[in-house]
Amino acid sequence: MAKDQITALAVTMPLNATGVYPVTCGRGHRTVAVLQQSHFEVLAEAGIQAIVDGYYRDGVLSFASAFERFQQFVFEIVAASFDGSDAAIKATWKVMARQSERQHGAYLASYLFAFGEPAPVLQSKQIELRNDVAHKGAIPTIDQSIDYAQAVTNAIHATSEKMKGRFDTLISQSITNHLTQGHLAAAPGVPVVTHFHPMFLSFGQPAGAATPNVLSAVQRRMLADGGD
């Protein structure tokens, strides 16, 4: 083998909230990979894997968090469309950052202002399940966790479809800002690459794509993992 021949190595790293992944190869070379996907997409991915692994509580809570972060994403995009500055949008969200009901209200209002109709939301039974899991220590069944994850997926997908074509420029700018922050987080002199990893929920799907199916995704991954 030639000394300068490049050998590809797969590196597995746990998901994190920042989307910034420092990597050091066996020869000590450092690189930083910045994940392109938004936080809500990463949380949905974590939720799918939790269900596959049998952690149904974690699956429900991850999808609940994914929906919350998606609602923040919608609020920020719609607010920007009304010429809200980045600083003003962040300051406004900060006021309700610890109050999920206010965040949900901001999402509902943003959707109404943008599209003139009520936003897709979860049913009462799904909200009750999430609350029981989060606050009462309830342990959902696999069917309950899949049903909840699908309800969240349906709501996110329906809203995403409405946003595509209407807010493409602002969405692209949001992704650019996210990647820029990731690049700036790297240490000086360390090479930075942008990474797009296929995930269950992808805002990058073309308009008109079918709604992702949670049960099918779980079954495929179980088979790939050698499960039943």
Q: How far is CA 58 from the centre of its chain?
A: 15
| 226 has a pLDDT exceeding 80 | no
Phi and psi torsions of 6, nearest 5°: -90, 130
Q: For 15-51, how does the pLDDT look when each residue is reduced to its tens digit (9 = 90+)?
A: 788 888 888 877 888 888 888 889 999 999 999 999 9
Res 181: pLDDT: 86
Identify the band that residue 12 occupies on the pLDDT scale cut at 50, 70 and 90.
Answer: confident
Which of these, 68, 33, 35, 61, lies nearest to 46 by C-alpha position? 61
Indicate the domain borders of the chain: 20-224
What Cα–Cα distance (Å) separates residue 111 from each residue in 44, 156, 160?
Answer: 21, 12, 11
- The pTM for the full model equals 0.89
Q: What residue type is 224 in one-letter code?
A: A
| 74 has a pLDDT exceeding 90 | yes
Identify the band that residue 1 occupies on the pLDDT scale cut at 50, 70 and 90.
Answer: very low
Which of these, 155, 158, 96, lies nearest to 126 by C-alpha position? 155
How many Å apart are CA 69 and CA 38, to the nearest integer? 9
Q: Report, in angstroms and rounded to the nearest whole number, the Rg of the chain calculated over CA atoms.
A: 19
Res 10: pLDDT: 67
